[in-house]
Structure 1
Amino acid sequence: MHRMQPTDMALVERPEPPAYTLWQLVLYFLRLGTLGFGGPVALAGYMHRDLVERRGWIADGDYKEGLALAQLAPGPLAAQLAIYLGYVHYRVVGATLIGMAFVLPSFLMVLALGWAYVRFGGLAWMQAVFYGVGAAVIGIIAISAYKLTTKSVGRDKLLWAIYLVLAAVTIVTESEIAWLFLAAGVLAWFWRAPPKWLRQSGANALAAAQVPAASGFLSALDWPLLTQIGVFFAKAGAFVFGSGLAIVPFLYGGVVTEHQWLNEKQFVDAVAVAMITPGPVVITVGFIGYLVAGLPGACVAALATFLPCYLFTVLPAPYFKKYGKLPAILAFVDGVTAAAIGAITGAVFVLAKRSIVDLPTALLALATIALLLKFRKLPEPIIIAAAALIGLAIYPVLRS
């Protein structure tokens, strides 16, 4: 029998070097954080288009693993996916730098908007801008959802069933139910690569446990304001599943109802700021923190929200990388990915109900879809800028 020589072992164990440098990836995510509009759905689509399809830096399997992990773990989907993609070839250093590069541009933008909001007493122009941008964003995320569906679901009947169920549930409930992603992964696993004990015993029952919600006793303590902000936003980052938009109801309950840090109009303005700025939607926490306690409040709120999602991505990542090629894990990831894309597609309809409110917004959304289908390399920021100008021009006329 041939005994493997040390040189042979080195060839087997040494992975292929990545086709890019860490700093190239950092610059990409700085740009995406600066110009990436459309919320978590669109941002996930941009990452697949740019890093998997066009550049070939990230393998499709690694992308799917990252998307599955981002859906299973609590926290904002786009930020967690970015952190995982940074981890793929450059481990903890890559994950850390990519997470910072992705979040920092939009955080600085919301700081500037928070300063202007406090200084000039509200942002009346924001409604006009969001009127146009919101409609264009629907077109952008619809195209992203379509591309993800055709690429990842394909013609697989089981994945289509999972996809359609999750899309329907998201549309009906207007929320993303975390345990359904786990159930979809288990279903695909048992269907495609059933474990030996299942084949032998014919067992057909599975108990699914949900992560309990965070207890509220911490928020009842009379701590200084910055500590209260840190505790509240850490809970928001650690116990809210789904896309960045899923955090909005949780924030409303704590910021407006429980702590009464903001009134309803200020909270709506904060959400609008998140929607008209690029990067992750969750960055609205920076704006809220600024209104509550200035620059320290913004920094504490952002750090407390994003630290849990960073840990929930980096800590399980080695196990995803080590065992990710096993048939059972591949089947599980395919099921979760189909569920995630179904939920993303359902979210398009949910968001459309809020953003497409009349004929002009419907035409803007359809025009965006048509432009992106015809001009595949048309940069989305150009569409967003044009939609913002249209909103500024026609919104005051329509509401006068």
Structure 2
Amino acid sequence: MVQTSERLTAGTAVPAHGISFGDALLVWARIAALSFGGPAGQIALMHRVLVEEKRWIGERRFLHALNYCMLLPGPEAQQLATYIGWLMHGVRGGLAAGLLFILPGFLSILGLSFVYVLYGGTALLDGVFLGLKAAVLVIVVQALLRIASRALKGRLQVAVAVAAFLALAVLHLPFPLVIVLAGLFGFLASWLSLPGFDRRATAPIPGAAAPSDEGTALGEAVPAHARPTVGWSLKMAAILGLLWAAPVLASWLVFGPGNVFTAIGLFFSKMAVVTFGGAYAVLAYVAQEAVGHYGWLKPGEMLDGLALAETTPGPLIMVLQFVGFLGAYRQPGAMAPLEAATLGAVLTTWVTFLPCFLFIFLGAPFIERLRGNHSLSAALSAITAAVVGVIANLALWFAVHTLFADVVSWQAGPITLDLPQPASIRPFALMLTAGAAFLVFAMRVSVMPLLGLAALAGILINRLS
């Protein structure tokens, strides 16, 4: 008798694990509404709810899924939700879990973006963002130290991080090129058995010593829909690839190649496939392109967007929606600015997150083959090391534009340095940053209280100054 992944109960198809799609929807909605605090907090929340509380998935399978998602570009927490949703209820489960994870943040940032462009410049909002920028700068530095402590395990990996930092901060090489070069270096280092790359540089195979997953809803069995077939993979790649490309192609045909919507679609599609290391790793590059090349943002506004993303549920990469919103708002063409801005936000979100579903639905069935590939692991280890340098560049870029009013570029051959003018230092921003650093590193204050206190302090300082 052939075992199926579903059984019939009261005339309705119910998965063999006994968890209905409706029950899963309620849990995914709950997780989405509480998904504050960046990827670490979001993954911890899913672990608590799905592994410890609901017992839907075991420790070993949860770590297995997380390991795969961390190999991918894009927001690993959202991809993990998509993966587990797919594992439980197939494509509709993955779509539901992934979309619900995005929806609260999308709606929140869209509303806050309207407030930003309509009421920005008021004393109240200026004070809020004065405090939030200082807090976010400290949060980025904290993320840098945490990632560096986990990722840099040897001198060669430290050298990769330093090289990535110099490539971006001094030579201003494109972010995607830095990531590709790091991956190639790791691949070659594996073949040459260089120190730190001669064996799997990431964590041991997840769950190798963990207890059995028996007793959980999913158990140890592989659902029928999780078994890879070439035909299914080609079908999913075609459907999702077409959905990904369709709005970009439509904007090209309707508005032309030089229009802001076409530029948004192409630029953020590129970002979707190179965002290893999450939002912090790519933001400096996005900010530099959005400010210097496209003229979508003013210097410092990326930090405002990141502050909004830190205070709302969902992936931090939702800050890209803010960039698309402002870009279309300032270059609306024949459309009304707010209509163009809304379309820009939707288009940015679409091309940023649709590839996440493609990566999961196409690649998850082949996850076992990826886990044992030592060369791939070494390449990704080098990329992780490079991400440390990328985030260091982000921290420096944010610090310069937060603490100083004037920045000038100095160039000598291929070297370009953005140098702050000491006389233009912002004393209130420096004071708020020092206070935020004290709360984070000395008092161990978490993200949400820190942001609230920083906003209140910014309002107070702005009124007294």
Where relative contact order (Cα < 8 A, 6+ residues apart) is larger, the structure is 1
- Inter-partner Cα distance in structure 2 for 1:142 and 1:120: 30
- Inter-partner Cα distance in structure 1 for 2:62 and 2:185: 25
Q: CA RMSD in A?
A: 4.3
2:358 aligned with 1:355: no
Query: Which residue of 1 is the match for residue 433 of structure 2?
Result: 365
- Counterparts of 1:56-95 in structure 2 under 5 Å? 63=66, 65-70=68-73, 77=74, 80-91=75-86, 92-93=91-92, 95=94
Q: Which amino acid aligns with 2:437?
A: I
Query: Which residue of 1 is the match for residue 392 of structure 2?
Result: 345
Query: Which residue of 2 is the match for residue 233 of structure 1?
Result: 264
> Which of 311, 320, 341 in structure 2 is aligned with 1:282?
320
2:319 aligned with 1:324: no
Contact 2:31–2:45 (CA under 8 A) maintained in structure 1: no
- Inter-partner Cα distance in structure 2 for 1:352 and 1:232: 28
TM superposition shift of 1:87: 3.3
How many pairs were matched up? 337
- Inter-partner Cα distance in structure 2 for 1:93 and 1:341: 36
- Inter-partner Cα distance in structure 1 for 2:151 and 2:133: 27
2:357 aligned with 1:314: yes
Gaps of 5+ in 1: 1-5, 8-15, 37-42, 71-76, 196-213, 257-261
Q: Which amino acid aligns with 2:30?
A: L
Query: Which residue of 1 is the match for residue 239 of structure 2?
Result: none
TM superposition shift of 1:116: 4.2
- Inter-partner Cα distance in structure 2 for 1:173 and 1:25: 44
Query: Which residue of 2 is the match for residue 247 of structure 1?
Result: 286
TM superposition shift of 1:388: 1.0
- Inter-partner Cα distance in structure 1 for 2:62 and 2:437: 27
Contact 1:188–1:331 (CA under 8 A) maintained in structure 2: yes
Q: Deviations over 1:352-376 (max 9, x none)?
A: 1112343443343333333333454
- Inter-partner Cα distance in structure 1 for 2:172 and 2:27: 38
TM superposition shift of 1:234: 1.3
Further displaced range: 331-340 or 174-183: 174-183
Query: Which residue of 2 is the match for residue 384 of structure 1?
Result: 451
Q: Which amino acid aligns with 1:27?
A: R
Q: Which amino acid aligns with 1:314?
A: F
**Residues 114 and 361 of structure 1: CA distance in aligned 2, closer, same or farther (over 3 Å):** closer
**Residues 170 and 30 of structure 1: CA distance in aligned 2, closer, same or farther (over 3 Å):** farther
Contact 2:161–2:386 (CA under 8 A) maintained in structure 1: yes
- Inter-partner Cα distance in structure 1 for 2:121 and 2:137: 26
Gaps of 5+ in 2: 4-16, 19-23, 53-58, 194-244, 276-281, 310-315, 405-425
% same residue:
18
TM superposition shift of 1:22: 7.1
Name the SS for the 1:315 alignment partner.
helix
- Inter-partner Cα distance in structure 2 for 1:145 and 1:53: 25
TM superposition shift of 1:45: 4.8
**Residues 349 and 245 of structure 1: CA distance in aligned 2, closer, same or farther (over 3 Å):** closer
Contact 1:138–1:351 (CA under 8 A) maintained in structure 2: yes
**Residues 368 and 253 of structure 1: CA distance in aligned 2, closer, same or farther (over 3 Å):** closer
Q: Deviations over 1:245-290 (max 9, x none)?
A: 533444457875xxxxx8x7xx669646523312421121235556
**Residues 172 and 125 of structure 1: CA distance in aligned 2, closer, same or farther (over 3 Å):** farther
Q: Deviations over 1:63-90 (max 9, x none)?
A: 46534421xxxxxx4xx33332223323
TM superposition shift of 1:133: 1.0
> Which of 155, 160, 163 in structure 2 is aligned with 1:162?
160
Name the SS for the 2:371 alignment partner.
coil
- Inter-partner Cα distance in structure 2 for 1:273 and 1:50: 26
**Residues 131 and 115 of structure 1: CA distance in aligned 2, closer, same or farther (over 3 Å):** closer
- Inter-partner Cα distance in structure 1 for 2:370 and 2:303: 38
- Inter-partner Cα distance in structure 2 for 1:252 and 1:133: 20
**Residues 190 and 111 of structure 1: CA distance in aligned 2, closer, same or farther (over 3 Å):** closer
Q: Deviations over 1:279-332 (max 9, x none)?
A: 421121235556744665444323321222334333334437243212122222
Q: Which amino acid aligns with 2:357?
A: V
TM superposition shift of 1:136: 1.1
Contact 2:31–2:46 (CA under 8 A) maintained in structure 1: no
- Inter-partner Cα distance in structure 2 for 1:334 and 1:144: 18
Contact 1:245–1:281 (CA under 8 A) maintained in structure 2: no
Contact 1:166–1:343 (CA under 8 A) maintained in structure 2: yes
TM superposition shift of 1:185: 2.1
Further displaced range: 117-126 or 320-329: 117-126
- Inter-partner Cα distance in structure 2 for 1:397 and 1:255: 37
Q: Which amino acid aligns with 1:354?
A: H
- Inter-partner Cα distance in structure 2 for 1:352 and 1:340: 18
2:28 aligned with 1:30: no
Q: Which amino acid aligns with 2:69?
A: G
Which has the larger strand fraction? 2
- Counterparts of 1:136-175 in structure 2 under 5 Å? 136-153=135-152, 155-173=153-171
**Residues 158 and 88 of structure 1: CA distance in aligned 2, closer, same or farther (over 3 Å):** farther
Contact 1:129–1:276 (CA under 8 A) maintained in structure 2: no
